[in-house]
Amino acid sequence: MRVTIVLLLTLTATAAFAKELPFYFGADGQYCKMCFKQNYGDNLYNKKSLGLNPFFGINIKDSPFVIEAGYQYCDSSRTSTLTANEYASGVQVPQMLEPITFRSSLKLKGPHVSLLLLTPRYDVYPVQFFGGIGISHTKATFERATMQLNSFIGKTNRKMEASRSLRRLTLGANYFFTEEFCIRATLVLVNTEKLHAFASDGIQSHFIPEVRPQNSVYYGVGLRWGF
Amino acid sequence: MNDNSLNISELINNQSLAVSEIIDDSLITIKSHLVESLQKTQQELTVLATKSVQTEPVFVPVNTPIEKKDNTSFINPSILTQYDAVTVQKVQSIANNPDSSAKLTNEQKQIIAQFYGI
């Protein structure tokens, strides 16, 4: 215990704070996990999707804060076959039409901006942690093509859309190879629960398809250059 | 004097008989018109009832088809739910009855699929 304290004190005393460059940019590859409420997309849409997040950051002078903005995009698709008593986007599959095969795809995209707090960075210890809150304006598009209905080929394409401003919480770490270049890992939580999407394709029907996602988590790994 | 009064009463009797005859005739004419129009209405109703039985099952929505809108805009869901309760019940019972699967054509099944938004 004493040794640890002595080591920490020595490190703090001798280490020099690394200089934060005023701007940075980069891109994250992301793995998004978004679940759906039961009967409202859980059996149609892929919970896991891959995406990209290009970003740009501005260090606020003489403070540990950074304003980071970016654009998030991810998509996925899935083929599923549903039978009677199962629900397709909130609508029960009728007995005479079972089994129905759907090809479903989702897209999430939109800009975001966050205020991040950076921990101090030492020359001898090139890891820096950060975290913060922000807002993103996300547009979700859920498409569902009916491939086969009972014994005949389906031809309907339904589209459900929602566009909302969402809260986001970002946590991450940078590992610096040089003063300018680092790799980073991020964990972003977004309240996509608000993206309750209704049919927006103009197709007339008694039952209106709807998709209700739950909150999502984005795991990202990326590269960052400072200048 | 007596002769005059007899003449007058005879005249009144004759006039009243003539009036009652006219009224009777009119009533008979009106009655025959009414009977005729009732029979005509009944025939029309029978024809309509026969037609509606022939065209079952009825899946035709009450509202007129809406224009296809821009994909980015939202359509008020209430526009799409203007089917009457009887039609909804009828379609649901057909769609969930295994016996009707063989009886209906693919086109009719597709109408049911459209009704269900599938």
**DSSP one-letter string for A51-113:** EEEEEEEEEPTTSSEEEEEEEEEEEEEEEEEE-TT-EETTEEPPGGG-SEEEEEEEEEEEEEE
Q: What is the pLDDT of residue A15?
A: 43
> Domain boundaries in chain B?
1-54, 56-118
Domain extent, residue A191, equals: 22-226
**pLDDT of A172 over the 50 cut:** yes
**Which of A156, A161, A198 minimises the CB distance to B118?**
A156
Q: Is residue A215 part of a domain?
A: yes
A96: which chain B residues are within 8 Å (Cβ-Cβ)? 94-98, 100-101, 104, 109, 112
Q: What mean pLDDT do residues A44-54 have? A: 94
A34 with A214: CB under 8 angstroms? yes
Q: Is residue A3 part of a domain?
A: no
A121 vs A11, higher pLDDT:
A121
Percent of chain B with pLDDT over 90: 0
* CB atoms A204 and B114 under 8 Å: yes
User: Which residues, in sequence order, are bridge partners of residue A37?
Assistant: none
User: Which residues, in sequence order, are bridge partners of residue A176?
Assistant: A182
Size of interface A-B (CB pairs under 8 A): 109
Task: Check which CATH number belongs to the domain holding A91 and give it.
Answer: 2.40.160.20
**H and E: helices and strands count for chain A:** 1, 13
Quick: pLDDT tens for A112-154.
Answer: 999 999 998 877 788 999 999 999 999 999 999 988 887 777 7
Residue A8 gets the label, from left (phi > 0), alpha (psi -120 to 50) or beta, of alpha
Strands A213-226 and A23-36 turn out to be antiparallel
Quick: pLDDT tens for B29-54.
Answer: 777 777 777 777 677 766 766 665 55
**pLDDT of B107 over the 90 cut:** no
pLDDT band at A201 (very low <50, low <70, confident <90, very high): confident
B28 vs A188, higher pLDDT:
A188
A94: which chain B residues are within 8 Å (Cβ-Cβ)? 92, 95-96, 112-113, 116, 118
| Range in A13-27, B26-40, B42-56, B97-111 the model is least confident about | B42-56
- The span from the CA of A21 to the CA of A182, in Å, is 12
| Range in A148-162, A191-205, B73-87, B96-110 the model is least confident about | B73-87
A100 with A146: CB under 8 angstroms? yes
Phi/psi of residue B48, each to 5°? -60, -45
**pLDDT of B80 over the 60 cut:** no
What are the structure tokens assigned to A191, written together?
A: 């309240």
**pLDDT of A171 over the 90 cut:** yes
Nearest C-alpha neighbor of A97 from the set A154, A155, A152, A150: A150
Q: Is residue A17 part of a domain?
A: no
Q: Is residue A114 part of a domain?
A: yes
Q: Is the minimum CB–CB distance between B83 and chain A shorter than 8 Å?
A: yes
Q: What is the pLDDT of residue B86?
A: 76
Q: Is residue A67 part of a domain?
A: yes
Nearest C-alpha neighbor of A28 from the set A54, A49, A48: A54
Q: Is residue A149 part of a domain?
A: yes
Q: Is the ipTM of this complex over 0.85?
A: no
A88: which chain B residues are within 8 Å (Cβ-Cβ)? 118
**pLDDT of A185 over the 70 cut:** yes
CA distance A222 to chain B (A): 32
pTM: 0.68
* Number of domains, chain A: 1
Q: Is residue A11 part of a domain?
A: no
Q: What mean pLDDT do residues B78-92 have? A: 66
